[in-house]
């Protein structure tokens, strides 16, 4: 029995071009130097599919986000006593090592004897002790304690304390410039100061008699920190500036027996 027919093999793509020639039906792809049905087939087949490229862009991690820059309020807490020789306040969380703690407070009986705790060595930046007394102390924390204590030994007077934690400030040569003021009539206005560092955190504190109502500080935009109300009324506000200048805020008050302090702290 005989079968008749003809043999016509189908050329297979993918073989090397060799001398640059390919079997009939194939062409040498310049991209890969292999024999293909079309010159661009190899290049197309080696590229990721459109869906794959789309999936890769979705699954790729987002670009890193820079940490916020400039001074930033982390946490704060306040306390007061109608009659005491020492007074403490504890922040809700341990502060971060390297952050700056600020204590705004006082005692109308006189200048505070000490500020301790918070894992910091404290420096009195500014104090006015004529009427109700307000003092601003600062220290860089090592993160070991969240409790700060003020003391005025041998007294039993009203005391106020407000402690705040700040990130984004320098750890050395922290205090730029300061000023104070006192008075018996509204508004409460410390002396104007002129900063020497472009980026500063301005802290404005006022101690006043009670009862008392504070207005809104100006000029400029100031953000309120937590106030303290007892036998002494204490208000505090802050502002972040990004250029040197002269600053002299004032705030309306209703009691008329005030002390004020203004402190500029350096940011990098």
Contact 43, 37 (CB under 8 A): no
* pLDDT at 218 (0 to 100): 98
pLDDT at 210 over 60: yes
Domain ranges of the chain: 27-59, 72-266
* pLDDT at 58 (0 to 100): 47
* pLDDT at 62 (0 to 100): 56
* pLDDT tens-digit readout, 72-82: 999 999 999 99
pTM: 0.76
pLDDT at 43 over 50: no
pLDDT at 2 over 80: no
Rounded average pLDDT over 233-245: 98
């Amino acid at each position: 029995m005989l079968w008749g027919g003809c043999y016509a093999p189908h050329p297979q793509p993918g073989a090397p071009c060799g001398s640059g020639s390919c079997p009939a039906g194939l062409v040498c792809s310049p991209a890969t130097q292999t024999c293909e049905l079309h010159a661009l087939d190899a290049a197309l087949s080696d590229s990721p599919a459109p869906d794959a490229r789309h999936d890769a862009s979705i699954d790729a991690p987002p670009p890193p986000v820079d940490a916020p820059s400039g001074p930033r309020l982390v946490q704060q807490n306040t306390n007061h006593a109608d009659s005491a020789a020492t007074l403490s306040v504890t922040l809700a969380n341990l502060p971060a090592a390297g952050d700056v703690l600020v204590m705004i407070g006082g005692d109308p009986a006189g200048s505070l004897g000490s500020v301790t705790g918070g894992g910091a060595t404290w420096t009195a930046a500014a104090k006015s002790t004529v009427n109700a007394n307000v003092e601003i102390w600062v220290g860089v924390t090592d993160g070991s304690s969240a409790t700060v204590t003020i003391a005025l030994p041998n007294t039993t007077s009203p005391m106020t304390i407000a402690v705040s934690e700040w990130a984004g400030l320098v750890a050395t040569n922290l205090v730029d410039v300061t000023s104070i003021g006192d008075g018996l009539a509204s508004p409460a206005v410390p002396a104007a100061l002129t900063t020497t560092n472009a980026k500063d955190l301005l802290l404005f504190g006022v101690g006043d008699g009670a009862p008392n109502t504070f207005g809104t500080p100006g000029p400029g935009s100031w953000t309120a920190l937590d106030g303290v109300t007892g036998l002494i009324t204490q208000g505090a506000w802050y502002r972040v500036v990004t250029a040197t200048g002269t600053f002299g805020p004032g705030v309306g008050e209703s009691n008329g027996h005030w002390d004020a302090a203004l402190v500029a702290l350096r940011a990098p």
